[in-house]
Structure 1
Amino acid sequence: MNFEQIEALKQLLSTSKRIAIVPHKNPDGDAIGSTLALCHYLTKKGHHAHVIAPNDFPKFLKWMPGANRVFNFERHNTETKKIIAEAELIFTLDFNDFGRVGQMAESLENASAKYIMVDHHQQPSDYADITYSDVLMSSTCEMVYNLIGYMGDLDVIDEDIANCIYTGIMTDTGSFKFKATTSQTHRVVADLMDKGANNTEIHERIYDTNSPSRLHLLGCALKNMVILEEFNTAYISLTQEELDHYSYEKGDTEGFVNYGLTLDKIRFAVIFIENKEEGIFKISFRSVGNFSVNEFARNHFHGGGHTNAAGGRSESNLEETINHFVSLLPQYKKALTE
């Protein structure tokens, strides 16, 4: 953020405000961690803040401080529309286009509030009055930490805020292994631990609470893996029938796509997951090195994200979707093999 943006935000927050805080649809650890952390902070500063998620989020995140007070737009439609309509400020976190909030987009587009965007994805839209966008950041949670610092309030961070921010940084950096993890990220994490973040407990709550059905689903996913050695690529597919067979719950497939990248020489990993209710295949793309899955997703699958992590979708059936994906690889062979 530049000086003018910081001063403008300080002015907006100088008096008590009605505030809505919104993550993207299907929120992950960074989205929930950043929105809850910001909500705790703004509440401590005397504002009336609410987190409104477009839909539900995974059970392994529901231990987080304040998670039980998150409004679900799908489930609390009338109440959440009222909060949005009456909000004076709306913070949108971990996304940069209203297309990422599903059916909630219309309510946001019609709101009269001033918008503050905090996000680290590429190519942000221009809907916000104040935009804090930095694609080099490890996570939106690290940006929320910085935002609190810009307000001169790092001393306000307590154990609850620290746990929320730590969770988002840890999950969005792959437990601190991704390229966007900087020395400054580690300094932020160290300060969060000093302020009460319980790193061991957070890791256990996120990664060590699997159900037997989730592990069986992982086994199914790995059995379905196809390796295309010619393109240093691996992909996984899961149909709705397979998800139902293993009693799929929201969040169960989190991280499955990354298994492809654990294979020697694989530089591009993809997972195709059927969502029969929406009539689409949701697609997650991951890469190592300089191969941009953000560009790949934007160019071919109505998506986007980061250089090494992005998402997309296909409205075709599984066979057509995979055939289309494979047909694209020859034009990227040089980038994937050199």
Structure 2
Amino acid sequence: MNSETINAVKELLSRPQKIVIVPHKNPDGDAIGSALALWHYLTGIGQETSVIVPNDYPKFLKWMPGCGSIINFERENTQAKEKIDGSTLIFTLDFNHLGRIGQMEKPLQEKVGQIPFVMIDHHQAPSDYAEVMYSDVNMSSTCQMVYNFIESIDTVDKVTPEIANCLYTGIMTDTGSFKFRSTNGRTHRIVADLIDRGAENTEIHHRVFDTNTPERLRLLGCALNNLVILKEYRTAYITLSQQELDAHNFQKGDTEGFVNYGLTLEDVIFAVIFIENKEEGIIKISLRSIGDFSVNEFARNHFDGGGHNNAAGGRSELSLEDTATHFESLLKNYQAQLRP
């Protein structure tokens, strides 16, 4: 954080505020972890603070300290709107465009220009709705940024065991258990400090990764059975239809991490999963890569999405079959980047 951002945040927090913290739609470990960590910190310094999520989040995150205080905009709409209407300061975490919050976009858009917004995010191409922007695409996670935020405007001594558990979870999940390129020495030093301050690293790993249901494992088997390998493009992709999801009693979060299996194949550097969502009428797309191939650019150019160079998301309004066919047709345009 630069001095201008630090001073702006300190000035905002120098007086009582009614703060709302908002992560992106379909929040993941980094979104929930950063939102709850910031909630613990702001509440701890005496600010009236609420976390409002656009919709539900996976069961494997619902153990996190403070999750019982989270307001779900879809299920608790009246309460959520009252909090937003009465807010004097809004923090948006782990996204940089209001289009990423689904039905919450309209009520938040109405607050733009009326009250200050603070953005904390590590994705590319931020929009300009926030008066205070802490944006850094080189960060491993928004949770790492929240640690920096607390350190910059206050002191890391304010990091309680509850905050440490939340931040560790977000950093761990968004770095692929510390294996992605965005993980650096600073990331590991922060993680070490979080453990020293009470983060239960072994227990966190167990709660996030070792609480599978039989249905989820069978769904993974179905996904791997659908795996298509395109050796000439060093690419692999998976499709999952709504019928397949329903047959395996799909729950939110069940497909988390499935896309990464493609990258475990020797000589594959580009992996994608296409998941049919009949309720929204779209195909949800997750893209991952190894090396210099930018899935952020690929998603932005072809699937109305974006994210990071090596991890991005997108969507398609074609059928599942037509989306996969269209995807394959695009690869010839990237032959030079995908071949050795």
- TM, length-normalised to structure 1: 0.99
Give how far 1:113 is off.
2.3
Runs of 4+ in 1 over 3 A off after TM superposition: none
Q: Which residue of 1 aligns with 2:67?
A: 67
Consecutive unaligned residues of structure 1, counting only runs of 5 or more, are none
The letter of the residue matching 1:279 is G
Q: Which residue of 2 aligns with 1:78?
A: 78
Is 1:11 aligned to 2:11, yes or no? yes
Secondary structure class of the residue paired with 2:195: helix
Give how far 1:196 is off.
0.2
Q: Which residue of 1 aligns with 2:164?
A: 162
Give how far 1:2 is off.
1.4
Cα distance in 1, alignment partners of residues 279 and 25 from structure 2:
15
Is 1:52 aligned to 2:67, yes or no? no
Q: Which residue of 2 aligns with 1:261?
A: 263
Cα distance in 2, alignment partners of residues 145 and 273 from structure 1:
33
Q: Which residue of 2 aligns with 1:110?
A: 110
The letter of the residue matching 2:44 is K
The letter of the residue matching 2:37 is A
The letter of the residue matching 2:321 is E
Alignment of 1:32-47 (within 5 A): 32-47=32-47
Cα distance in 2, alignment partners of residues 89 and 153 from structure 1:
22
Cα distance in 1, alignment partners of residues 156 and 234 from structure 2:
44
The letter of the residue matching 1:324 is H
Give how far 1:288 is off.
0.3
Is 1:324 aligned to 2:307, yes or no? no
RMSD, aligned α-carbons: 0.5
CA deviation string 1:160-191 (max 9, x = no partner):
00000000000000000000001000000011
Cα distance in 1, alignment partners of residues 220 and 278 from structure 2:
20
Cα distance in 2, alignment partners of residues 12 and 99 from structure 1:
25
Cα distance in 1, alignment partners of residues 226 and 250 from structure 2:
16
Give how far 1:85 is off.
1.2
The letter of the residue matching 1:143 is M
Which one of 147, 150, 153 corresponds to residue 151 of structure 1? Answer: 153
Q: Which residue of 1 aligns with 2:137?
A: 135
Q: Which residue of 2 aligns with 1:305?
A: 307
Give how far 1:153 is off.
2.2
The letter of the residue matching 1:216 is R
Secondary structure class of the residue paired with 1:105: helix
Cα distance in 1, alignment partners of residues 213 and 131 from structure 2:
43
CA deviation string 1:55-82 (max 9, x = no partner):
0000000000011111000011111111
The letter of the residue matching 1:161 is I
- TM, length-normalised to structure 2: 0.99
Aligned-pair identity (%): 65
Alignment of 1:165-176 (within 5 A): 165-176=167-178
The letter of the residue matching 1:243 is L
Give how far 1:152 is off.
2.1
Which one of 178, 192, 205 corresponds to residue 190 of structure 1? Answer: 192
Corresponding pairs, count: 338
Give how far 1:43 is off.
0.2
Consecutive unaligned residues of structure 2, counting only runs of 5 or more, are none
CA deviation string 1:132-179 (max 9, x = no partner):
000000000000000000112211111000000000000000000000
Cα distance in 1, alignment partners of residues 73 and 278 from structure 2:
21
